[in-house]
Amino acid sequence: MDEMIQRAIDESIAEVSAATGSDIYLVEADVRGGGRIIGLTVEADKGVSIDQCARVSRAVRARLEACEENIMFAGGDFELMVSSPGIGEPIRVVRQYLRHLGRKVSIVYVDAEGERKELEGKLVEASIAGEEPSITIEPVAKGKKKTKAGRREPLTLRLADVVRATVQTEW
């Protein structure tokens, strides 16, 4: 990503975070067409509002349009979209696990034998600091008969073994 775009994004997120009292962070930036199309996904530990997305969008746009050395940006000749991750979107940033504690997740991971496994359950713990970040999932049985007999012991997974984690709609 262009350094000018990255700086505009970082400064804008910091500005909006300070103004709203939320610790907003970048989940994903998709820059295409030589910078003509910029898509940002932002999040906060307690969720990000539509108003906060709009504020980030306005701040990024203002910074880019103030870049006189880039005619495209100075002329406003670019598309900018700022949104929050939706349900069903994969978790992309480790910090997002904290945001989704207590929620239903679908996890694809590699077990100790190197086999790919899938698991649905409640995200009950996320230890993201240290050398071995991990999450703990309380598995639930799939299907119509979700009895207590279908529940299993919580499973702790190293994040290095998680292939994909997706937040699901509630049970």
Give 61-92 pLDDT, tens digit per residue.
Answer: 999 989 877 767 777 788 999 999 987 889 99
Cα distances (Å, whole numbers) of residue 58 to 51, 80, 110: 11, 9, 41
Is residue 125 helix, strand or coil?
A: strand
pTM, entire model: 0.80
Domains of the chain from N-terminus onward:
3-83 (3.30.300), 96-167 (2.30.30)
In whole angstroms, give the CA distance from residue 7 to residue 59.
12
The residue ranking higher by pLDDT, 77 or 145, is 77
pLDDT per residue as tens digits for the range 106-130: 999 999 999 999 999 999 999 988 8
In whole angstroms, give the CA distance from residue 4 to residue 105.
36
Give the chain's mean pLDDT.
89
In whole angstroms, give the CA distance from residue 137 to residue 153.
9
